[in-house]
Amino acid sequence: MMKRWLVLLLTLLLVGCQATEFGKPMTFTREAREGASTAPESIPSDSEPSASEDPAVPVPSEEVEAVDKTEPEETETEPEPTIPPAPLEAGLQADSVYTALSNEDIGWWFQKGPPSTVEPRSGQLIEGHQVYWRLDEEKPVIYLTFDQGYEYNDNTSKALATLKEKDAKAMFFVVGSYVDRNPELIEQIIADGHQLGNHSVDHLRPAKALDVSIERFVRDVVDLQKKVPEMTMFYRPPEGGYSPRALQILDDMGYTTVFWSFAYKDWLTDDQPDPVWAKQYLLDNLFNGSIILLHTVSDTNMEILGDLIDGIRAAGYRIEPLPVA
């Protein structure tokens, strides 16, 4: 009987000790704390926890980067360098300077000679601007220029072959679509040592482009220059159109506006002039410093080009590239 009471007493004493220990706050050693916060490597994680489910869970890395980009910390940073204006547009003045000038749409006009002349008003309008229509009257030099709106019958290749055979250099004024559609010909023109001139991106008369905005006109010129960095700073106005406002803007951008001192009706592919007549007509109108305008879409021009070059030289003239101002 006494033994049973002793066993019961010992059991009660042991239970009381455990109850007292469990009632105390639970503590962990440092090693136990670190181990409890790290998931076993053998347990895979199928998905990242959502921050909305548990604010203590870190935002996934890609979300943190997005937040950092939209809400950067306020730290001292150096200001970004100011990008200077494009060189071709650096000389432009305030729009008010140009809008004060007339934008009357004027067409280039000459009176056939030889030598050719221009009416007094045209002479007054271009005076003081960087304009070529006839060059040095004292030098027996002829300047051949071609306008390139589109390719026809592979005539540009024919012209280049003839010019190479005759060792003559010419100027080719091109529009944007010609550059885009004929990159090999553009490369050949440059490689053969000829000059490449700006005939605008969209072949807009300057006054009409300026009626939209000054920016529209500038873009029609500058954007073509950006397509072909090797292009010269010579600009031929589409259809020979110009205005005092356009001439001033071109001056300020560093361009030389190139008109012509002789041309003839050679651009209609289905109504070509007679080759014999055309060659003689051109040779009869030569004079010192003459800038001749031809179109490469003309089969007649391609047929007579070699004989025309020979005839120009036989008359005592040299054929040279346009002089850079």
> If you write DSSP's letter for every residue of 52-87 in order, what string do you get?
TT-TTSPPPHHHHHHHHHHS------PPPPPPPPPG
| Alpha helices for 71-213 (secondary structure H) | 95-99, 120-126, 155-166, 176-181, 183-191, 206-212
HSE on the CB side for 237, CA within 13 Å? 29
Predicted confidence (pLDDT) per residue in 89-128, tens digit: 668 999 999 999 999 999 999 999 999 999 999 999 999 9
Beta carbons of 212 and 189 less than 8 angstroms apart: no
| Phi, psi (degrees; rounded to nearest 5) at 275 | -60, -45
Q: For residue 297, what are its two tokens?
A: 């879409």
pLDDT of residue 91: 85
| Phi, psi (degrees; rounded to nearest 5) at 291 | -105, 110
pLDDT of residue 40: 31
pLDDT of residue 306: 98
pLDDT of residue 31: 35
HSE on the CB side for 291, CA within 13 Å? 22
Alpha-carbon span 325 to 323, nearest angstrom: 6
pLDDT of residue 127: 96
Burial class (CB in 10 A: 0-12, 13-18, 19+), 169: middle
Tally Cβ neighbours within 10 Å of residue 264: 19
| Alpha helices for 176-265 (secondary structure H) | 176-181, 183-191, 206-212, 214-227, 244-253
Report how far Cα 221 is from the mean position of its chain's Cα atoms.
10
Alpha-carbon span 320 to 170, nearest angstrom: 7
HSE on the CB side for 83, CA within 13 Å? 2
Instruction: Give the helix, strand, coil percentages of the chain, each rounded to 5.
Output: 45, 10, 45
CATH architecture of 120-319: Alpha-Beta Barrel (3.20)
Alpha-carbon span 10 to 17, nearest angstrom: 11
Residue ranges of the chain whose pLDDT lies below 50: 1-3, 5-88
pLDDT of residue 20: 41
Dihedral angle computed from the Cα positions of residues 303, 237, 139 and 263, in that order, rounded to the nearest 10 degrees = 40
